[in-house]
Amino acid sequence: MEFRSLRRAFGLTVALDGLDLTAEPGELLALLGPSGCGKTTALRVLAGFEQPDSGEVLVDGEDITPVPANRRDAGMVFQSYSLFPHLNARDNVAFGPRMKGVATAERHATANELLELVGLPAHGDRYPHQMSGGQQQRVALARALALRPRVLLLDEPLSALDAKVRLTLREEIRRLQLALGITTIFVTHDQEEALSMADRVAVLNAGRLEQCAPPAELYERPATPFVAEFVGTMNRVPGQLTGDGSVAVAGATLPVDGDVPAGRGPVDVLIRPESIGVTADADGTATVVSAAFLGSVTRVLLDLPDGVAVKADLPSRDATELAPGVRARVVPVRRPVLVVPVRGTTAPGAAASGGKVDA
């Protein structure tokens, strides 16, 4: 599947602004971004529910931009399930083959096979109102697969489910997608879903692609400040370029990898909470503001001397002394962070290697 220079506007609102994106055969590609970034519009253009103002949509090298939705060979699952309330699960799944003129025995056999595949072999005679939300979404998934589509489209299919069911179903969707080898485009606003399910994640912002990469690369090596701060949690700490390829931040000097602006000057250093170590120290100049117990991890919020607040995620066993008001020392671990221009400037950024910071 490929988007080429897709543009779609609704009045003065530009939903897609020259979007270029490719999904490889058999890949699960997640479209992730804030509300209004264009991810759902991109999915609707692929499904044929929206026509782009310009650009092309290709599947297996074929330009399907002018092809109507009912001839696009794509299965779609919506967040609202969209099951027919007057049909039981088997007939809901068999609806597509029925519209294609498939014989009754064959379409029922297909429906039973798919219901078993999604873990509902005994639910064929049940109606939507007799099933839980998770079961209804499994039926919707089976229905989308009934015509053996070339592309499976998932529009936030888990957002209406409770947390436990959502976790179970996302694992089942991934298992099913891998088993069938079907190219899948998954729209979500949930970062955990995107990072845990996808082969690659495409981050959209204002109708444009910020970065498309495997989850670990997206998290560890964000290409832009937007990606760095949108995906996961990030601390933004002021620093100073030293002129020798390093950056000074919170009283320590970190070596920098990659291109660095020449000379000296202010920059912002982006550091993940799990990349910061904290120890209680009466001589430290950081102050614990709060410590939130999250199970195996405790998130500690600290004030640095210059008024900057930072978050640190620590193993809970190492955070027992970090109560509000305690003085502490902050020590970033050795791992890359991102050095970016100060907000409002255009100087290039670079990646920095971890070092020690005493605060």
pLDDT higher at 66 or 79: 66
201: β partners: 30, 213
pLDDT tier at 22 (50, 70, 90 boundaries)? very high
CB 313 within 8 A of CB 293: no
Instruction: Report the pLDDT value the prediction gives residue 8, as an integer from 0 to 100.
Output: 97
Instruction: Report the pLDDT value the prediction gives residue 144, as an integer from 0 to 100.
Output: 92
Instruction: Report the pLDDT value the prediction gives residue 147, as an integer from 0 to 100.
Output: 86
CA end-to-end span of the chain: 50
Quick one: average pLDDT of 12-35? Answer: 96
- Between CA 324 and CA 345 the distance in angstroms is 35
Q: Largest Cα–Cα distance in the chain? A: 80
Instruction: Report the pLDDT value the prediction gives residue 31, as an integer from 0 to 100.
Output: 97
pLDDT tens for each residue of 122-141: 999 999 999 998 899 999 99
* Parallel, antiparallel or unpaired: strands 62-63 and 265-271: unpaired
Give the helix ranges, DSSP H, for the chain: 39-47, 89-93, 95-99, 104-117, 133-145, 163-180, 191-197, 215-220, 225-230
pLDDT tier at 261 (50, 70, 90 boundaries)? low
247: β partners: 241, 254
Which residue has 């989308």 as its token pair?
A: 144
Residue 359 has pLDDT above 70, yes or no: no
Residue 332 has pLDDT above 80, yes or no: no
- Between CA 298 and CA 316 the distance in angstroms is 5
Instruction: Look up residue 283 and give its two tokens.
Output: 């001589």
Quick one: average pLDDT of 97-110? Answer: 92
CB 177 within 8 A of CB 184: yes
Instruction: Report the pLDDT value the prediction gives residue 246, as an integer from 0 to 100.
Output: 77
307 residue type, one letter: G
Q: What percent of the chain has pLDDT over 70?
A: 90
Q: What is the mean pLDDT of the chain?
A: 88
Quick one: average pLDDT of 13-19? Answer: 96
Quick one: average pLDDT of 235-260? Answer: 74
Instruction: Report the pLDDT value the prediction gives residue 358, as an integer from 0 to 100.
Output: 42
- Between CA 185 and CA 63 the distance in angstroms is 18
Instruction: Report the pLDDT value the prediction gives residue 21, as an integer from 0 to 100.
Output: 97
pLDDT tens for each residue of 153-179: 999 988 878 888 888 889 989 998 999
Question: How many distinct helices (H) and strands (E) make up the chain?
Answer: 9, 21
116 residue type, one letter: E
pLDDT tens for each residue of 280-322: 999 998 999 999 999 999 999 999 888 889 999 999 999 999 9
Helix (H, G, I), strand (E, B) or coil at 167: helix
Residue 355 has pLDDT above 50, yes or no: no
**Helices 163-180/133-145 angle, 10° precision:** 20
pLDDT tens for each residue of 192-237: 999 999 999 999 999 999 999 999 999 988 888 899 999 999 998 8
DSSP letter at 67?
S
pLDDT tier at 356 (50, 70, 90 boundaries)? very low
Residue 150 has pLDDT above 50, yes or no: yes
**Which structural domains are found in the chain, ordered by start?**
2-226 (3.40.50.300), 233-352 (2.40.50.140)
Q: What percent of the chain has pLDDT over 90?
A: 63
Handedness of CA 160, 166, 172, 177 (dihedral sign): positive
